[in-house]
Structure 1
Amino acid sequence: MQVMTNGNITIVKDGNVTTPIGFTAGGVHCGIKRKRLDLGYVYSDVPATTAGVYTTNLFQAAPLVVTQKSIEIDQKIQAILVNSGNANACTGDQGLQDAYTMQTEFAKILGIKDHYVAVTSTGVIGVPLPMEKIKEGIQQILQEEHSGADLFQKAILTTDTGIKNIAVQLEIDGKIISIGGAAKGSGMIHPNMATMLGFITTDAKIDYSELWDALKQITNQTFNMISVDGDSSTNDMVLVMANGKAENKTLTKEHPSWSLFIEGLKVVSESLAKQIARDGEGATKLIEVNVAGAENVEGARAIGKAIISSNLVKTAIYGTDPNWGRIVCAVGYSGVLIDPNRVSVTIGPYQVVEKGLPSQMDEAEVKKYLEQENIHIYVDLNQGEAAATAWGCDLSYDYVKINASYRT
C-alpha cells in the first residue's frame, strides 16, 4: 500500500533506507548496551556520492572527524557503520584511533576501501569504546539473521522510544526514484542539528556539489528547525548517499525535475525531523510553530526557534496552560526587530493576540485544545511576506527523570 502526498511524490508504507535500489542494512547486539541492539550498518552495492552536514559543537566527536576526512577524498562512501551506547567523544587520540579501527575492520569485511566506510557513534560522552566487543560485532553483523532495515533502525537508538523512518518515491526521466531515511534523536536536541543522527539513501544519480547544496538547503528548513531541550550534541550528523542505480539522467539545478527531487528530499527530512521532535525525552506533544509576515526568512526562522526553544512555552503546553504571554515574550527576545503592535498569535483555531493586544478568548476552550498531541501555534508579524516553520515538544516531569539517571 502506498499513500500519495501530492500528485508527484508517494510515501511508501514501511519505507526505509533500503527502499532505494542497491541498499541493504542490518544491526546486531555486540555488548555496548546490556541487551538492546547497538551496532548497525547501511551498505550500497556500489560507491555512492555522499554529502554530509555536522554538529556545530566545538567538541566534535572522533567519528565525525574520520567520516568528514573520508568523504573529502573522492566524495563517495559505500557503507555506514554506527554504534550506540557510547559517543566516542572527548576520548582523545585513543578515540580517533578507535574510530579508524572501526572503519578499517568493517571495510575489510566488505572488501572495500577504508575511506568508503563512514563511522559514527552516539551515547555516553567521555568513555572509551569497548573495541573488542565492537570488533566481534563487526565479524557477525553481515550474517543473514542480522540483516534488515528494522534492525539497523533499532541499533542506532539511545533514549529514543521508537524507530524513525520514511521513504518516498517519485518519477524522473521515466525512472522511479526512491529516497529513504532513518534517524535517531530524543534528547540534547537543539538547533543547529541537535543530538541526532540522520541517514538518507537514494538511488538517484546526482553529482556531489548539487547533492551537498540540496542537503544544506533542506537541513536549514528541517533538521535545523527542531528543538527539544536547548542542548547541542558532539556527534550530530546527517549523511545522504546517492548511488545512481535508478539510472536517471544526472540531476543538476538545470534538470527539469530538480525541484521535484528537492521536494522529495524535503519530505523525507521534514518527516524525520518531526519524528525526532515528537520523541523528545518525556515528551507528550509535538509543537509546530508557523511564523508568517516576516521581513525575511532568517527572521522568521529565528522567531520560530525562539518559541520552540522556550522552556516556559514548553512547560505551559505540557500543563495545558494557554499562557500566550510566554509566546510573545519569546518573539520579543528572538533578536529580530519587529513592531509589537502588529503581531498576532493564534493557538490552534483560537486567536489569543491581535495587533499586540490580548484577544477575547474562551480560556477553557483553548485549554481543552492544548490537551491534544499535536499543537499548532501561528504567529503573524504583519511586516513582510517571509515565513518559516519550526518543531519542538513539551517539557515534562519525565524529562528530568530520564536525564537525571542517564548513565545509571
Structure 2
Amino acid sequence: MNIITGGVTAAKGFQAASTAAGIKYQGRTDMAMVYSEVPCKAAGTFTTNIVKAAPVKWDQDIVYNQPEAQVIICNSGIANACTGKEGFECCKETALAAAKTLKVDPDSVLVASTGVIGMQLPVQKLAAGVEAMAPELDGSLEAGNQAAKAIMTTDTVEKEAAVQFEIGGKTVTVGGMCKGSGMIHPNMCTMLGFVTTDVNISKELLQEALSQDVKDTYNMVSVDGDTSTNDTVLLLANGMAGNPEITEKNEDYRAFCQALNYVNTQLAKKIAGDGEGATALFEVKIIGAESKEQAVTLSKSVVTSSLTKAAIYGHDANWGRILCAMGYSGAQFDPEKVDLYFESRAGKIKIIENGVSTGYSEDEATKILSEDAVTAIADIKMGDCTATAWGCDLTYDYVKINADYRS
C-alpha cells in the first residue's frame, strides 16, 4: 500500500468542483460536487440520532434502495435539519437540478448539508450552484482539494487522504475528504465524509467493508460528545481500476479493507485534531484488555472526559482524571494493575505503575504534553486486545465558537 497525495479525485474516473453559492457564507466557496464518469456502487453509514436531517433520509433511500449512484452534492452553512417537508423537497430539487445538468438519473444523486440546524436552504441558490459547478468538473488533485475546502464550516483546515495498492495486477486507489470540527461524537461516522475508489467490488461487500470499518475509525472520534443530526459517510466505487470483481472475502477484499481503513483512520484523526478551538490531538490507547469491547469502552470514556481534555490543554499530567474516567466507564478492570504512559514527539514517560505514581518528573511530563499530538497509553494487563480513540483538548475557544455560532 502506497500513501499518495490527494482526496476524492485521486481514484480513476472521479471529478470534483466547487463554487461560492452564497448560501450562508460570503466571500468563500460553500458548495462542492463529486462526480464519477460512470455509475458507482454506493455504500453509506448515517447518524444514529433520532433527529435526522433531510439529506440523511434522502441518501439512506438511495444507498439502500437504488442500484447505483453517480453524484454527490454538498453545501456548507445550513444543515437542512429540522426543516420538514420543505427540507426534503429541497433535496429533491437539488437532485433534479443535477440530473438535468449532468444528464444522470436523479435517483443517482446523493446530497449532503452541514451548518446551522433549523434554517431552510435557498433552493434557487443550490440549483444555480449546481449549474455553475457542472462545467467546472475536473479530475485534478487541486479540484478535489478545493472541494474539501468548500464543505468546511468551523473547520480550520481541509481534510483529505488517499492510498494506492494492487489487486489482480491492477492499481487500485482509495481517496476521500471529510469535514468535522464540532458536534462530533459519532455513533457510526463523522459529520460528513466522502470516500471514492475505482475498485471493482459487489455492492454488498462494499457496504459491509464500510460498516465494519467505521467501528474502528469514525466511531472512535469525539470532540464534544454531541452526535450530529447530519452524520453521513458515503463510499462510491466505480470499478474503473479494472480488477476482477470482488465478490467474496478473499485476499483482494482484505487488501481493499486495509486501504479503506487507512483512509478513514487518517480522516478521523484529522477531525479530532481540528476540533473546535483545539490546540492538540489527544489519542487514547487501551492495551492489555480482555476483549475489544472492553478496550473500546475504556478508551472512549477517557477521550470524552471534559476534565481530562482540560488537563491536556493545560499540559498537566493529571493522571487521576484518566484513571477516574476509566473507573466510571462501566468496564471492569483492576485499577491496582494499571500502567499509564504519556507519549508525543518529545518522548515517552511512565506516569503510573500498578495504579500508583512512579514519581515521574513533572517538567518532563509537561514537555511531552506540550506537543500538538499527545497519546495516553493505559495497560490494564488482562489480555491482548486493544483499542484507540481520538479526541482533542478542551479550550476557551470551544465555548467562544459555540456561544455565537448562529450569529
TM-score, structure 2 normalization = 0.96
Deviation at 1:152, TM superposition (A): 1.0
| 1:305-349 CA distance string (max 9 Å, x none) | 111101101100100111000000111011111122221111122
Q: Does 1:196 align with 2:191?
A: yes
Contact 1:292 / 1:388 at 8 angstroms: preserved in 2?
A: yes
Contact 1:18 / 1:24 at 8 angstroms: preserved in 2?
A: yes
Alignment partners' CA distance in 2, 1:55 and 1:145: 29
Alignment partners' CA distance in 2, 1:199 and 1:144: 19
Number of aligned residue pairs: 399
Alignment partners' CA distance in 2, 1:137 and 1:291: 46
| 1:159-188 CA distance string (max 9 Å, x none) | 000100011000110000000100000011
Deviation at 1:228, TM superposition (A): 0.7
Q: 1:82 is aligned with what amino acid?
A: C
Q: Does 1:377 align with 2:376?
A: yes
Contact 1:340 / 1:355 at 8 angstroms: preserved in 2?
A: yes
Q: Is the deviation greater in 249-258 or in 134-143? A: 249-258
Match runs of 1:269-284 below 5 Å: 269-284=264-279
Alignment partners' CA distance in 2, 1:36 and 1:248: 40
Contact 2:190 / 2:268 at 8 angstroms: preserved in 1?
A: no
Q: Does 1:210 align with 2:205?
A: yes
Alignment partners' CA distance in 2, 1:307 and 1:256: 36
Relative distance call for 1:45 and 1:145 in structure 2 (3 A) is closer
Question: Which ranges in structure 1 are unaligned for 5 or more consecutive residues?
Answer: 1-8
Q: Name the structure 1 match of 2:314.
A: 319
Q: Is the deviation greater in 371-380 or in 188-197? A: 188-197
Alignment partners' CA distance in 2, 1:247 and 1:194: 29
Contact 1:103 / 1:119 at 8 angstroms: preserved in 2?
A: yes
Contact 1:188 / 1:232 at 8 angstroms: preserved in 2?
A: yes
Q: 1:53 is aligned with what amino acid?
A: T
Q: Does 1:132 align with 2:124?
A: yes
Match runs of 1:347-366 below 5 Å: 347-348=342-343, 349-366=348-365
Contact 1:342 / 1:383 at 8 angstroms: preserved in 2?
A: no
Alignment partners' CA distance in 2, 1:327 and 1:183: 29
Alignment partners' CA distance in 2, 1:401 and 1:254: 48
Of 99, 102, 108, 1:110 maps to 102
Deviation at 1:51, TM superposition (A): 0.4
Alignment partners' CA distance in 2, 1:255 and 1:302: 30
Q: Name the structure 2 match of 1:304.
A: 299
Match of 2:251, SS? coil
Q: 1:355 is aligned with what amino acid?
A: N
Of 37, 40, 46, 2:32 maps to 40
Q: Does 1:142 align with 2:137?
A: no
Of 165, 169, 172, 1:174 maps to 169
| 1:27-71 CA distance string (max 9 Å, x none) | 101111212111111001111001000011110000110111122
Q: Name the structure 1 match of 2:385.
A: 386
Match of 1:329, SS? helix
Contact 2:340 / 2:377 at 8 angstroms: preserved in 1?
A: yes
Contact 1:186 / 1:195 at 8 angstroms: preserved in 2?
A: no
Contact 1:71 / 1:115 at 8 angstroms: preserved in 2?
A: no
Question: Which ranges in structure 2 are unaligned for 5 or more consecutive residues?
Answer: none
Contact 2:186 / 2:231 at 8 angstroms: preserved in 1?
A: no
Relative distance call for 1:136 and 1:146 in structure 2 (3 A) is farther
Q: 2:385 is aligned with what amino acid?
A: A
| 1:108-167 CA distance string (max 9 Å, x none) | 111111110001100000000011111111121113388821221111110000100011
Of 5, 28, 46, 2:19 maps to 28
Of 217, 220, 230, 1:222 maps to 217
| 1:202-223 CA distance string (max 9 Å, x none) | 0000011111111011100000
Q: Is the deviation greater in 233-242 or in 140-149? A: 140-149
Q: Does 1:332 align with 2:331?
A: no
Q: Name the structure 1 match of 2:232.
A: 237
Contact 1:12 / 1:169 at 8 angstroms: preserved in 2?
A: yes
Q: Name the structure 2 match of 1:286.
A: 281
